[in-house]
């Protein structure tokens, strides 16, 4: 009977631990007044697209390091002809060691391609960051413009109300 209660408690604990967090626990606090530099900093730190894009240069850097390395030698051992009896008498063993030697500038070209790929990847990250900054600035200035439009509309409404009251 204890086993049933224990397994039920374990199942409940596993379900409780794997449940997603409530929405309120996932929200992060933002300042009440947000300046453009603060908005750009928050977007740069918390944008998932930019965060995933920043891992690509690390991968390209690893590819560049790999391209600069010499290929590893390979060792191959084969045995043939064993049909029973003494292993030494009826066995044919062969050992082969091979090393690939890049010729005709192949290694230099691989290094150049890996370096160009690294630069292209970094340019992609810079472009993604540039587009993110543009989007944040655009949204920020649209909000500023909307606030200015609201203030002008409220002033016009107040002027119209004063004009109407003065004629009555």
Distances in Å between the Cα of 144 and the Cα atoms of 34, 91, 137 are 11, 86, 10
pLDDT in tens, 142-163: 999 999 999 999 999 999 989 9
pLDDT greater at residue 138 or residue 3: 138
pLDDT of residue 34: 80
Q: Where are the domains of the chain?
A: 34-71+103-167
Q: Cα–Cα distance between 14 and 76 in angstroms, integer?
A: 49
Residues 6+ apart with CB under 8 A from 94: 77, 78, 79, 80
Question: What mean pLDDT value characterizes the chain?
Answer: 80
pTM of the model: 0.57
Query: What is the C-alpha separation between 89 and 82, in angstroms, rounded?
Result: 9
The pLDDT assigned to 16 comes to 53
**What stretch of H or E contains 98?**
strand 92-98
Please give the pLDDT value at position 147. 92
Residue 7: band (very low, low, confident or very high) from pLDDT cuts 50, 70, 90: low
């Amino acid at each position: 009977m204890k086993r049933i209660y224990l397994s039920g408690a374990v199942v409940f604990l596993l379900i409780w631990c794997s449940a997603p967090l409530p929405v309120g626990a996932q929200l992060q606090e933002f300042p009440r007044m947000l300046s453009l530099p603060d908005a750009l900093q928050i977007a740069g730190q918390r944008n998932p697209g930019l965060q995933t894009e920043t891992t690509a240069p690390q991968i390209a850097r690893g590819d560049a390091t790999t391209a600069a390395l010499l290929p590893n030698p390979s060792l191959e051992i084969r045995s043939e002809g064993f049909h029973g009896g003494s292993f030494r008498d009826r066995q044919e063993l062969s050992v082969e060691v091979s090393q690939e030697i890049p010729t005709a500038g192949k290694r230099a070209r691989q290094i150049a391609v890996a370096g160009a790929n690294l630069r292209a990847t970094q340019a992609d990250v810079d472009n993604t960051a540039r587009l993110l900054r543009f989007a944040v600035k655009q949204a920020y200035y649209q909000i500023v413009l909307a606030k200015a439009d609201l203030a002008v509309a409220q002033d016009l409404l107040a002027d119209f109300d004063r004009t109407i009251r003065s004629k009555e």
